[in-house]
């Protein structure tokens, strides 16, 4: 495939671990080295040819809507969850009419990465196989990441299939980006529920796959994660980030 032309950016979280910053600022608008987390994600999508990104909002959502109002690449559609937070999967289900019938990117608004070589989203698109896959996830090596304090998430088989690998020493971290086919949401309601349900269904069907990143993954979950993230960026040669 040439790569998805639409994307779902998950930006509706409460950002409670980022308090007190998020008392007055939605987490996606936290700046790292002078650029917001959300802008970094949207730049990655634009760079891989995405035309339209649906951004869901809840906490201080008007600030995000104002921030992205001038975007033309990608074009931004706001999915307003001010009335009720729908969690990762519920938010996607609500946005399906805007996302269309073809596979689309999913992207968490609070993670980003430093590219090394071919852009990671392009690598995902090049790996996607509609006949074998329902979901394809970007995975990070804990040893090549900044800001991650939790466990690993998945084990990657030689054929690219994934199984759960929580705390496994050879496990990888879900990097907050992937490609999904909208068929997995057939019959689903726009009620609060998590993408983990669909990950597990895809594992059971042998249709959850992953790609290990070449780049350096950065997550910013708490205020004290900002400085290490900025230091990781400072280590990048000029013009490479």
Average pLDDT over all residues of the chain: 91
pLDDT at 237: 62
- Confidence class for position 239, pLDDT limits 50, 70, 90: very low
Q: How many Cβ atoms are within 10 Å of 139's Cβ, its own excluded?
A: 22
* Separation between Cα atoms, residue 149 and residue 172, nearest integer Å: 13
pLDDT at 70: 86
User: For the segment 50-73, what is each residue's pLDDT rounded down to a tens digit?
Assistant: 999 999 999 888 899 999 998 888
Q: Which of 161, 126, 156 is nearest to 141 (CA)?
A: 156
Residue 43 has pLDDT above 90, yes or no: yes
> H or E segment at 162?
strand 162-164
Helices (H), the chain: 37-47, 61-67, 87-99, 120-127, 196-205, 226-234
* Separation between Cα atoms, residue 36 and residue 218, nearest integer Å: 13
For CA atoms 85, 87, 89, 92, the dihedral sign is: positive
Distances (CA, A) of 199 to 136, 145, 184, 225: 10, 22, 10, 27
User: For the segment 144-196, what is each residue's pLDDT rounded down to a tens digit?
Assistant: 998 887 789 999 999 999 999 878 888 999 999 999 999 999 999 989 899 99
Distances (CA, A) of 201 to 12, 107, 198, 204: 24, 20, 5, 5
User: For the segment 136-145, what is each residue's pLDDT rounded down to a tens digit?
Assistant: 999 999 989 9
Domains and CATH numbers, the chain: 6-234 (3.90.550.10)
- Confidence class for position 125, pLDDT limits 50, 70, 90: very high
Residue 6, token pair as written in the block: 């639409």
């Amino acid at each position: 495939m040439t790569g998805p032309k639409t994307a779902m950016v998950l930006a509706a979280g409460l950002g409670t671990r980022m308090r007190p910053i998020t008392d007055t600022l939605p987490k996606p608008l936290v700046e790292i080295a002078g650029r917001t987390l959300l802008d970094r994600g949207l730049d990655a999508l634009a760079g891989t040819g995405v035309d339209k990104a649906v951004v869901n909002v809840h906490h201080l959502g008007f600030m995000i809507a104002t921030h992205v109002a001038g975007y033309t690449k990608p074009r931004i559609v706001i999915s307003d969850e001010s009335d009720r937070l729908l969690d990762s999967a519920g938010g996607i289900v609500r946005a399906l009419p805007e996302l269309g019938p073809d596979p689309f990117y999913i992207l968490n608004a609070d993670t980003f990465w430093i590219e090394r070589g071919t852009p990671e989203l392009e690598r995902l698109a090049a790996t996607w196989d509609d006949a074998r896959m329902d979901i394809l996830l970007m995975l990070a090596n804990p040893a090549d990441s900044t800001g991650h304090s939790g466990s690993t998430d998945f084990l990657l088989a030689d054929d690219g299939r994934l199984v759960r690998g929580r705390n496994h020493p050879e496990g990888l971290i879900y990097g907050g980006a992937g490609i999904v086919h909208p068929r997995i949401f057939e019959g689903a309601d726009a009620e609060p529920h998590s993408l983990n349900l669909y990950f597990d269904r895809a594992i059971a069907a042998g249709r959850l796959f992953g790609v290990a990143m070449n780049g350096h993954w950065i997550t910013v979950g708490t205020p004290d994660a900002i400085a290490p993230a900025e230091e990781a960026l400072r280590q990048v040669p000029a013009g490479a980030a």
